[in-house]
Amino acid sequence: DVKVTQSSRYLVKRTGEKVFLECVQDMDHENMFWYRQDPGLGLRLIYFSYDVKMKEKGDIPEGYSVSREKKERFSLILESASTNQTSMYLCASSLVGLNTEAFFGQGTRLTVV
Amino acid sequence: DQQVKQNSPSLSVQEGRISILNCDYTNSMFDYFLWYKKYPAEGPTFLISISSIKDKNEDGRFTVFLNKSAKHLSLHIVPSQPGDSAVYFCAASASRPGTYKYIFGTGTRLKVLA
């Protein structure tokens, strides 16, 4: 079974803090993704990576950066957390190729106060 | 611009009846479509998918239909069970190299009434 593990289930951070969300997958997947889920807005893509050290902006990259130094690990960084970044953050991974599905981690509920 | 749309935020269905969840897309480059199910405080889990070369795919109680000309897909759940109560997301991707991302809709909350 594919396993995508996010480092925290729940986080509470203060405004202005630098926040790191970590994600590890164990199936040697090339692609990794960070989404956020908000009520009424669905899952919105923040960043994705199709290889080590490669990254591409998704639909809402502002206020975020990412790091992929190893194939199995994809980190999302909130440079200076703000209250509008309170959300559920979801990491996913997938194989490269036709007709493959993404596998998700359990999510991190981040609250910025 | 929402490329994948789920226009019904919620749906209630009686146990044993059919649930039909709908999804529309605008980008004609999409050629692979997926449905995910999500419970609160958990990550989405993959349910079923369909390639654009097909118009129907079945897996047990779940069937996905694709109408490419209308850019519309639907998920049928028959018979619906209380455990199916969750938020359902449709997603789409394009198989061109370099565009491996998945674009999700806003979700439909399904409630199956016992």
The predicted-structure confidence for A3-44, as pLDDT tens digits, reads as follows 999 999 999 999 999 999 999 999 999 999 999 999 889 999
The verdict on a CB contact (< 8 Å) between A101 and B46 is yes
d(CA B14, CA B77): 12
Contacts of A56 in chain B (CB under 8 A): 101
A33 vs B32, B101, B106: nearest CB: B101
CB-nearest to A107 from B41, B95, B98 is B41
Q: Please, which pLDDT band fits residue A57 given cuts at 50, 70 and 90?
A: very high
Which of B44, B46, B101 is nearest residue A58 as measured by Cβ atoms?
A: B101
Residues of A in contact with B50 (CB under 8 A): none
pLDDT per position as a tens digit, B10-37: 999 999 999 999 999 999 989 999 999 9
8 Å CB contact of A101 and B105: no
The residue with greater pLDDT, B3 or B21, is B21
**In chain B, what residues touch A96 (CB-CB under 8 Å)?**
100
Q: What is the pLDDT of residue A5?
A: 96
Q: How confident is the model at residue A53 (pLDDT cuts 50, 70, 90)?
A: confident
The pLDDT score that the predictor gives to residue A86 is: 98
Query: Does pLDDT of A2 surpass 70?
Result: no
Per-residue pLDDT, B2: 80
Residue A18 pLDDT: 97
Task: For A88, name the nearest residue in chain B, comparing CA atoms only.
Answer: B41
pLDDT of residue A99: 80
pLDDT band at residue B97, thresholds of 50, 70 and 90? low
Q: What are chain B's domains?
A: 4-113 (2.60.40.10)
Mean pLDDT of chain B: 93
Model confidence at B99, pLDDT cuts 50, 70, 90, reads low
H-only helix segments in chain A? none
**Span B47-95, pLDDT tens digits:** 999 999 999 999 999 999 999 999 999 999 999 999 999 999 999 998 7
Tell if the CB–CB gap between B42 and A107 is shorter than 8 Å: yes
CA A2 from centroid of its chain's CA atoms: 17
Residue % of chain B over a pLDDT of 90: 83
Tens-digit pLDDT profile for residues A61-113:
999 999 999 999 999 999 999 999 999 999 999 988 778 899 999 999 999 99
Closest CA to B57 of B44, B45, B41, B46: B46
Which helix (H) or strand (E) covers residue B74, if one does?
strand B72-77
Mean pLDDT value across residues B44-48: 96
Cα B106 to Cα A38: distance, rounded to the nearest angstrom: 9
What contacts 24+ positions apart, CB below 8 Å, involve B20-24? B20/B74, B20/B75, B20/B76, B20/B77, B21/B74, B21/B75, B21/B77, B21/B88, B21/B90, B21/B108, B21/B110, B22/B72, B22/B73, B22/B74, B22/B108, B23/B72, B23/B73, B23/B74, B23/B75, B23/B90, B23/B105, B24/B70, B24/B71, B24/B72
Domains, chain A, ordered by start:
4-112 (2.60.40.10)
Fill in the DSSP letter of residue B69.
T
Residue B44: is its pLDDT beyond 90?
yes
